[in-house]
Amino acid sequence: MKAIIQNNYGLPDVLELKEIKKPVIQDNEVLVRARAAALHAGDYFCLQGKPFMTRMIVGFPKPKNYIPGFDIAGEVEEVGVNVTRFQPGDQVFGACNGGCAEFVCAKENNLAEKPSNLSFEQAAAIPTSALAALHGLRNAGKVQPGQKVLINGASGGVGTFAVQIAKALGAEVTGVCSTRNVDLIKSIGADFVIDYTKEDFTKTGKHYDLILDNVASRSFSAYKRVLNSKGVIIPNSGHAGIGYVIKAMVRSIFRRQQGRPYLSMPNQKDMLILKELAESGKLAPVVDKTYMLSNTAEAMAYLGEGHARGKVVITVETKE
């Protein structure tokens, strides 16, 4: 099978398309013929080996035949002996390791049936980013109907999902983005949009019950001005630096206005919730650009520029 291989840290040109052996599933795994894979910030961190702790996952002192990509959508090719939910031919989406390949192994609990109204490319865009938004808002933030929620960095992969999920949870949503993304954020359901190039949301006089921060563009003291007395800051740790996350943790212990760092892990129960939201029309993936598998290095370079609107997706060429 064809796969994107990384044998060094650095710029996207270290990625190579190679022919390798098809993976072998374990008893609780599913072999998926990938039709699409999505990239996100974590993939770029792994490419660079920064922060250093990523090298403990990708490979130390350098990676060996590492395949990037954590999110896929495709068709079940084979199931392990302990797998009960899926069978060959089922269309699925979910989280895995080594997504930029023609075939991938995924744990049964990390997959769900693909939303019937979405393409493979749209479905692949969902897992990691949408789960990060769901877990930040629902689990860490405990968003309630009628609360005022601000999404800082609303036009990115997590941000576009966060705007829609916050609306689905019944919140009044304000999105913060650049001028070129204002219409996009309005179109996916934000009640208010602040163009950060024209207005500083920490100086508007409006207060919020929750801020989901995807870009760490303001200090905690600045956020304090716009939080209600029991308001919370939820740093998306996939984008904020480790120092920022530690500050959030300290504030959660000693301050009334809390920072709540969180860890988002894939699970089938929440994947099914996202599937239901998508099929009900409450969650529509925003796909900025799609690239063929052979052009994954180009896709990674675009992702690294930091200006993607929504998700960057790989269409996987397959042998029929």
Q: Which CATH class is domain 129-259?
A: alpha beta
Which phi and psi (to 5°) does residue 255 adopt? -115, 150
Is 268 in a helix, a strand, or coil? helix
Hey, what are 84's tokens?
Answer: 């009960």
22 secondary structure, DSSP code: P
Domain range annotation of the chain: 2-126+285-315, 129-259
CA separation, residue 272 to residues 2, 110, 130, 142 (Å): 30, 10, 12, 19
Hey, CA dihedral for 173, 178, 179, 182, is it positive or negative? negative
Higher pLDDT, 53 or 226: 226
Is 274 in a helix, a strand, or coil? helix
pLDDT band per the 50, 70, 90 thresholds, residue 247? low
d(CA 196, CA 184): 15
Region 8-37 average pLDDT: 97
- pLDDT cut 70: percent of the chain above it: 92
Task: Report pLDDT digits (tens) over 272-320.
Answer: 999 999 999 999 999 999 999 999 999 999 999 988 999 999 999 765 5
For domain 2-126+285-315, give its CATH number from 3.40.190.10, 3.90.180.10, 3.90.79.10, 3.30.590.10. 3.90.180.10
Work out the number of other CB atoms within 10 angstroms of the CB of residue 178. Answer: 15
Nearest residue to 137 (alpha-carbon basis) of 240, 213, 192, 191:
213
Q: Which amino acid is at 67?
A: I
Q: Helix count (H) and strand count (E) of the chain?
A: 10, 15
| pLDDT at 292 (0 to 100) | 98
203 secondary structure, DSSP code: G
- pLDDT cut 90: percent of the chain above it: 82
pLDDT of 249 higher than 60: no
The answer to whether 192 touches 174, Cβ cutoff 8 Å, is yes
pLDDT of 190 higher than 50: yes
Region 109-113 average pLDDT: 98
Region 246-269 average pLDDT: 66
d(CA 298, CA 93): 24
pLDDT band per the 50, 70, 90 thresholds, residue 221? confident
Sorted by sequence, the CB contacts under 8 Å of residue 201 that are 6+ apart come out as 150, 152, 174, 176, 194, 226
| pLDDT at 53 (0 to 100) | 85
